[in-house]
Amino acid sequence: MRYCKTRYANRTQDDAKQLHVLIAALKIACTNGAKDILQTCRECCGGQGYLTSNLICSLRCDVEAFVTIDGDNTVLLQQVGGGVLAEFQRQYGENMGLKEKASFMGREAVRTIRERNPVKTHQISEDHLFNPEFQLAAMRYRESKQTSRLARRLQRAIKDMSFFAAWNEALMDVSSLGMSFIERCQVEYFITAIDELNDQVSSTNQQARLKHPLQMLSSLLALVRMEADPWFLASGYLSSTKHEAISDSINRLCVMLRPHALSLVQAIQLPNHLFHNTLPSLKRFSLQP
């Protein structure tokens, strides 16, 4: 959100398309995320989660509308996928000379060898799985592979049909690419924000205390995404052993994060009026500021 605000504040005319894609991605991430989180909250609170006085259901009702209004998320997702593809074409499209093409293909081959070598696809130590470099490389690799695959697919298809028909046939790939872009941005900007916190040497005590839990949260986000998308297994980026290790790490991270859960929620500094009907079980933990 902060990154989008800064980009918007410093926008130029050349920036408009990229900014549109970024803001559409943010809208999808926030509204889909809120819907899923509220559903999980409702289920975690059992029957109490359904009580009107505890607000979860009415919030869920509002959020349902946000998924559709101001641009339906399914349609926006296609715009995001299309925007990523357009940027790829701008950089590596028809204007690319033979020399640049050879250099691009060389870079891609080196990247594939680096990312898909058996040592890396089988590496399962926690040091490796919790390393932001590994998590970000995985997200970037998926996005880049899906982009070039979609470009090749469309290029082949338009030999036999109109671009409109080819685009419609490829919509599932377009949406997958859109989602990969969103998830890469979430992981990348989360890691950057934590790094910036790091740089503020004289950061407040609270920030310093939360730095490690935030690093665990960012690992949790990246690993949950990697576990959920079958692309990582199907493409051979993860071996089945590494996929299993990721599931185990997710469980371990949840256990490690548990003692920090209340501090993280308190750091959001929710306003007092939101607590007037809190679930009795939460009042026990004195969540109220």
Ligand X SMILES: Cc1cc2nc3c(=O)[nH]c(=O)nc-3n(C[C@H](O)[C@H](O)[C@H](O)COP(=O)(O)OP(=O)(O)OC[C@H]3O[C@@H](n4cnc5c(N)ncnc54)[C@H](O)[C@@H]3O)c2cc1C
Smallest gap from Cβ 64 to ligand X, in A, equals 8
Residue among 79 and 207 whose Cβ is closer to ligand X: 79
| First CA to last CA distance, the chain | 24
Site mask for ligand X (CB under 6 A), range 222-261, x = bound: ----------------------------------------
Residues 6+ apart with CB under 8 A from 267: 206, 210
Smallest gap from Cβ 73 to ligand X, in A, equals 7
Residue among 70 and 244 whose Cβ is closer to ligand X: 70
Site mask for ligand X (CB under 6 A), range 57-96, x = bound: --------x--xx--x-xx---------------------
How many residues touch ligand X under the rule CB under 6 A: the total is 6
Residue among 32 and 48 whose Cβ is closer to ligand X: 32
Smallest gap from Cβ 66 to ligand X, in A, equals 9
Residue among 75 and 165 whose Cβ is closer to ligand X: 75
- Helix 16-44 vs helix 171-199: angle between axes, to the nearest 10 degrees? 90
Smallest gap from Cβ 192 to ligand X, in A, equals 31
Smallest gap from Cβ 70 to ligand X, in A, equals 7
Residue among 63 and 253 whose Cβ is closer to ligand X: 63
Q: Which residue, judged by CB position, is nearest to ligand X in the bound state?
A: 74
Q: Are 268 and 147 in contact (CB under 8 A)?
A: no
Dist. CA 85–CA 153, nearest whole Å: 12
3-state secondary structure 62-131: HHHHHHHCCCCHHHHHHHHHHHHHHHHHHHHCCCCCHHHHHHHHHHHHHHHHHHHCHHHHHCCCHHHHCC
User: What sign does the CA torsion over 250, 255, 259, 262 have?
Assistant: positive
Dist. CA 275–CA 175, nearest whole Å: 38
The encoded tokens of residue 146 equal 């899906």
Smallest gap from Cβ 62 to ligand X, in A, equals 9
Q: Where do contacts with ligand X occur on this chain (CB under 6 A)?
A: 65, 68-69, 72, 74-75
